[in-house]
Amino acid sequence: MIVDLPDTTVSKITRALVNVREEGGAVALGRVLTLVIVTREGDMEEVIEAANDASREHPMRVIVLLVDGNGSDARLDAQIRVGGDAGASEVVTLHAFGEAASNLESLVTGLLLPDAPVVVWWPNDTPDNPADTSLGRIAQRRITDAATKPNPWEWVAALSDSYSPGDTDLAWTRLTRWREQLAAILDQPPYESVRRVEVRGAGDSPSTSLLAAWLRVALDVPVDWRYLDPAEWEHGIKSVVLVRDSGEVRLERPEPGVAILTQPGQPSHDLAFPRRTLRECLAEELRRLDPDVLYGRVISEGLELLGPPSTQEPNG
């Protein structure tokens, strides 16, 4: 069910939500959080679809904000989606024009679920300091995406300057499969110390620097990391090499979606490494509403220890 509310107010939207639930049988019981999404009109349907898919694991109310502060007329248009049009959630889209867009917190406060955590997601246009915004201050978790930035390394490097507990980035979430596999390798014989690490990835991959920073923190060894020329590789992380006394452990993707694990004295293994979807990343982030302490360490400590990418291959 879709209900359009042109030129409306927050109080009218609240009453309309109550009417929709009473008439259609939809209920707010069981909603575990409120997800606020600040996005652009051209990207709205994609992020709503991702939120709807994630809502099957995390029933929630989704509030989508589209801001057009340049208009001279103050106006708020809204739309309510429930049932099959909203997955296991209620979706409220708010399109604010002119002065109506001047205070985003006031637009969403009356629509938040009572006594439920608030998560704010900026899928594209992100403030420099998310925790210091009016929406960020009311949120337990704040989600950004460095992959949408024109210079991902500079953006990731700047995250440490504005980091607050509760911040996270989908570039970090996309690393889960890599981190799980590398941790599993280190938990197996011969239990040797790692002397050095090499990380390679595409030039537009912020996950490359975050993976290198995580390895720098986790292993406390030198990590050489480098962005590859697009002619060499253009699909996220390319490879990780763990240098041990017995030889190199190499986890490398020859093509997107597949990785090959090579270890001394063992046959190589082909592993499925598909790129994680937006829905998968969002659902993972919504599983925990407490601060991600490890991400905080990687951002605050690991990036500083790591330093900028190298411009040439290491010797030996």
DSSP for 59-106, please give it: -EEEEEEEEETT-SS-EEEEEEE-GGGSTTSEEEEEEEEGGGGS-HHH
Q: Are 197 and 223 in contact (CB under 8 A)?
A: yes
Name the CA dihedral angle for 50, 11, 111, 86, rounded to a multiple of 10 degrees.
Answer: -30
Q: How far apart are CA 235 and CA 230, in angstroms?
A: 9
* Whole-number Å distance between alpha carbons of 155 and 152: 5
173 token code pair: 């979430």
**Where is pLDDT greater, at 27 or 174?**
174
Q: Phi, psi (5° rounding) for residue 43?
A: -105, 0
Between CA 226 and CA 250 the distance in angstroms is 16
For residue 68, the model assigns a pLDDT of 85
Average pLDDT over residues 257-261: 96
- CB 213 within 8 Å of CB 199: no
Four-way CATH pick for 2-170: 1.20.140, 3.40.50, 1.10.60, 1.10.1240? 3.40.50
Judge whether residue 85 has pLDDT over 80.
no
Strand duo 196-202 + 167-169: pairing: unpaired
Give residue-wise pLDDT tens across range 102-153. 889 999 999 999 999 999 999 998 898 999 999 999 999 999 999 998 888 8
Residue 44 CB neighbour total at 10 angstroms: 17
User: Which two three-digit tokens encode residue 157?
Assistant: 């490097």
- What per-residue confidence (pLDDT) applies to 25? 59
DSSP code for 174: T
Cα separation of 38 and 64, whole Å? Answer: 6
Is residue 28 predicted with pLDDT exceeding 60? no
Query: Region 218-247: what's the mean pLDDT?
Result: 94
Residue the block writes with tokens 């110390």: 193
Q: What is the pLDDT of residues 60-75, one digit of tens each?
A: 999 999 998 676 688 9
Q: How confident is the model at residue 201 (pLDDT cuts 50, 70, 90)?
A: very high
